[in-house]
Amino acid sequence: MAALAGGGAVVAGTPARAGARAVIRPSALRPGDRVRVIAPAGVPDTRLARGIEILESFGLVVEEGEHLHDRYGYLAGTDEARLADLNAAFRDPGVRGVFAARGGYGTQRILDGLDLDAVRRDPRVFVGFSDLTVLAGRLWTAARLISFYGPMMNWTDARLGPAEIESLRSAVMTTDPIVLTTDPAEPSAAVTVPGVATGPLLGGNLTMLQASLGTRDLPDLRGAILLLEDTDESAYSYDRMLTHLTRAGALRRIAGVAIGQFTNAPVVSGQWTAAQAVLDRVGSLGVPVLGGLRIGHGNGQLTVPLGARATIDTTAGTLTVEAGVQP
């Protein structure tokens, strides 16, 4: 019963089933590896230097995409330039990791030009979130490649401290399992449906998941633990997006739901909060739901592998995910 707590190539339009093909884990990054920072969406700013500094502190050799500092309206360069950087990063055999500089908007505009043969031929680490949800989805549906839902390199120290730096490093450089515990201070901690569920962790930003309906970017979520988070959205927006996904059949037979951060969700007196609206929608799915996870746009953002086998346990208040990389 739902409760509001106190405290092969994919055919166009046909998403790949969560448990169908063999999952591909990229090799763990090691000190001395070359990695590349690219901007498939919005324009990075001066905070980028801090993100690059952090990657270098891991012992990685950081390269910048050729067009990383371009600007075209609200985009980080023209579609052609951003796509060129994206494909160059996945084609270069010496580049072992690809890190997104910033989200915002724009990845969908170039995604259909992604060199999927290069992705399949030589899998590597990819890290990004928010707008990059669609790229993570395409890597999964086309290549069954695990990617990492974690911070952009446009880094803000006030939001991301030593624990979050270590979370990123451990996720992409070790084979340790990842365990997140629900944080009662997160607004989404109020969303729970008791139970235990296991499946590949898939999803990401709710806005981008809804925007992916009818495309090859949205995985078939049957048997999956669906990850959701968003920012700057009202309660009715969460309701609308989840209702759309449900009516479209995208949430049919999911195993469970892991809910990240509801960042900057307005609270209106006398109306539902974002947590109440989400519970109203996911509480009727008949699966366990665990909220309060520090995944998303808020402070203390942690890194998790998308596509790796995960378990949510609402009694323990934990999301446990297998390593997303191989030795």
Catalytic site includes residue 164: no
Name the DSSP class of 222.
T
What six digits make up the tokens of 92? 């270069």
Catalytic site includes residue 188: no
The answer to whether the beta carbons of residues 244 and 213 sit under 8 Å apart is yes
Angle, vertex CA 291, rays to CA 287 and CA 295, nearest 5: 120
Q: How far is CA 155 from CA 12, 189, 207, in A?
A: 35, 25, 22
pLDDT band at 21; cut points 50, 70, 90 = confident
pLDDT digits (tens, 9 = 90+) for 141-191: 999 999 999 999 999 999 999 999 999 999 999 999 999 999 999 999 999
Q: Which of 63, 67, 130, 237 is catalytic?
A: 130
| C-alpha closest to that of 147 among 20, 38, 306 | 306
| Alpha carbons 206 and 230: distance in angstroms, whole number | 6
pLDDT band at 20; cut points 50, 70, 90 = low
pLDDT digits (tens, 9 = 90+) for 282-323: 999 999 999 999 999 999 999 999 999 999 999 999 999 999
Q: Which of 147, 164, 237, 297 is catalytic?
A: 297
Q: What pLDDT is recorded for position 10?
A: 27
The answer to whether the beta carbons of residues 221 and 200 sit under 8 Å apart is no
Mean pLDDT value across residues 261-266: 96
Mean pLDDT of the chain: 94
Mean pLDDT value across residues 62-81: 98
Q: What pLDDT is recorded for position 7?
A: 34
Q: What pLDDT is recorded for position 5?
A: 41
The residues pairing with 310 across neighbouring beta strands, listed in sequence order, are 199, 321
The residues pairing with 110 across neighbouring beta strands, listed in sequence order, are none
The residues pairing with 134 across neighbouring beta strands, listed in sequence order, are none
What angle, 0 to 180 degrees and rounded to 10, lies between the N-to-C axes of helices 235-247 and 274-282?
Answer: 20
Answer left, alpha or beta for residue 47, where phi above 0 means left and psi between -120 and 50 means alpha. Answer: alpha
Q: What pLDDT is recorded for position 18?
A: 53
The yes-or-no verdict on residue 3 having pLDDT over 80 is no
Catalytic site includes residue 130: yes
| Alpha carbons 223 and 251: distance in angstroms, whole number | 10
Helices (H), 130-234: 133-143, 162-173, 206-211
Q: What pLDDT is recorded for position 16?
A: 41
pLDDT band at 11; cut points 50, 70, 90 = very low
The yes-or-no verdict on residue 51 having pLDDT over 80 is yes
Mean pLDDT value across residues 74-99: 98
Q: Which of 164, 229, 233, 322 is catalytic?
A: 229
